[in-house]
């Protein structure tokens, strides 16, 4: 099917990263849209966990905030914020964490804190939120972020959430028990960490995207997998469901 946007392609690709029956710690925005798309298509028993304390939320419309009332109304269980972090995230019960990024580096470290020096920031960003512990404790992390030289930098200005630190062995050294980022899904394609070096490698481009575009949108010398594939384009059903979901979030 044709007639889809790169943003839609990114969301669809992200939703495909979620297996059925998995438990997923969901941030608001694209991750939430992708998770709800997955639940409405190939993963009906996907368990959505939001940091507001809602476990097994099954919203019938797209939540507009992490603490949207629809999450509490439809959840299997609603717990306090300390409990969601201490009893549910910290022990490694959650399979997949979905994160965004303002800056991302070649080792998939994430910055959502500041652009420029911390004490004299060029841009002050919102900060950590739940991300550092999601990145540390989920079984794996999927990063969803638009690709550009501004975002994909050689070294992040501030490590808010650890991907692979400075390379192999760092996660173990820090005692981080999750496997870390396994996929970075962008509007251009998909990157995965090299099992040897932990450096992000382009493993897929979305239909119509040239490798050169991805290289130009990356602030380091981007490696490309020998077996680079082209992402399967969104199916009619995926697009219909996605658009229906997004319509529910339209401004009142």
Partner 1 sequence: MAELMSLPDAVASLVHDGDTVAVEGFTHLIPVAAGQEVIRQGRRDLTLVRMTPDIVYDQMIGAGCASKLIFSWGGNPGVGSLHRFRDAVQNSWPRPLAIEEHSHAGLANRYVAGASGLPFAVMRGYRGTDLPAHTDTIRSVVCPFTGEELTAVPALTPDVAVLHAQQADRAGNVQLWGITGVQKEVALASARVLFTVEEVVDALEPRPGAVVLPSWVVDAVAEVPGGAHPSYAHGYSDRDNDYYRSWDAISRDRDTFTAWLDREVLGTTGVTP
Burial 100-130 (b: 16+ CB within 10 A, else e): bbbbbbbbbbbbbbbbeeeeeeeeebeebbb
Give 9 or 159: the residue with its C-beta nearer to partner 1.
159
Return d(Cα 26, Cα 113) in angstroms, integer.
19
Query: Catalytic positions, please?
Result: 51
Q: Which x/- pattern, by CB under 8 A, does the window 163-202 give for partner 1?
A: --x----xx-xxxxx-------------------------
Are 188 and 97 within 8 A, CB to CB? no
- Listed residue (1, 26, 5, 2) closest to 15, CA to CA: 26
240 lies in the binding site for partner 1 (CB under 8 A): no
User: What are phi and psi for residue 60, nearest 5 degrees?
Assistant: -90, 0
Which range, of 71-79, 183-191, 193-201, 235-243, touches partner 1 by CB under 8 A? Answer: 71-79
Q: Which x/- pattern, by CB under 8 A, does the window 120-159 give for partner 1?
A: -x-xxxxxxxxxxx--xx--------------------xx
Return d(Cα 94, Cα 141) in angstroms, integer.
10
Among 20, 65, 216, 237, binds partner 1 (CB under 8 A): 65
Output the smallest distance, CB 154 to partner 1, in A.
Answer: 16
Give 95 or 238: the residue with its C-beta nearer to partner 1.
95
Give 126 or 207: the residue with its C-beta nearer to partner 1.
126
In order of 5, 51, 142, 170, the CA distances from 222 in angstroms are 24, 33, 19, 21
Output the smallest distance, CB 2 to partner 1, in A.
Answer: 30
Return d(Cα 241, Cα 37) in angstroms, integer.
7
Tokens 């002050």 correspond to what residue? 124
Q: Which two structure tokens, joined as six digits, stand for 34? A: 């992708």
How many residues at the interface with partner 1, by CB under 8 A?
65
Site residues, partner 1 (CB under 8 A): 21, 23, 28-29, 47, 51-56, 64-69, 71-72, 76-78, 80-82, 85-87, 89-93, 113, 118-119, 121, 123-133, 136-137, 158-162, 165, 170-171, 173-177, 251-252
């Amino acid at each position: 099917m044709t007639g889809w946007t790169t943003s839609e392609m990114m969301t669809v690709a992200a939703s495909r990263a979620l297996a059925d029956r998995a438990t997923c710690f969901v941030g608001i925005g694209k991750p939430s849209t992708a998770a709800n798309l997955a639940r409405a298509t190939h993963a009906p028993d996907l368990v959505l966990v939001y940091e507001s304390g809602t476990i097994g939320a099954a919203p019938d419309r797209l939540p507009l905030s992490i603490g949207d009332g629809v999450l509490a109304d439809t959840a299997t269980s609603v717990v306090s914020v300390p409990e969601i972090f201490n009893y549910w995230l910290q022990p490694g019960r959650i399979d997949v964490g979905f994160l965004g990024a303002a800056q991302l580096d070649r080792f998939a470290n994430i910055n959502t804190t500041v652009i420029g020096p911390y004490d004299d920031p060029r841009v002050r960003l919102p900060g950590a939120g739940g991300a550092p512990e999601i990145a540390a404790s989920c079984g794996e992390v999927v990063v969803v972020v638009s690709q550009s030289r501004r975002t994909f930098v050689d070294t992040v200005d501030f490590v808010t959430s650890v991907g692979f630190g400075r390379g192999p062995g760092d996660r173990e050294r820090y005692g981080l028990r999750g496997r870390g980022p396994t996929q970075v899904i962008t509007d251009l394609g998909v990157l995965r960490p090299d099992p040897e070096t932990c450096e992000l490698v382009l493993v897929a481009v979305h239909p119509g995207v040239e490798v050169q575009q991805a290289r130009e949108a990356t602030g380091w010398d981007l490696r490309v997998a020998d077996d680079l594939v082209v992402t399967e384009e969104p199916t009619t059903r995926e697009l219909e469901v996605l658009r229906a979901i997004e319509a529910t979030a339209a401004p009142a």
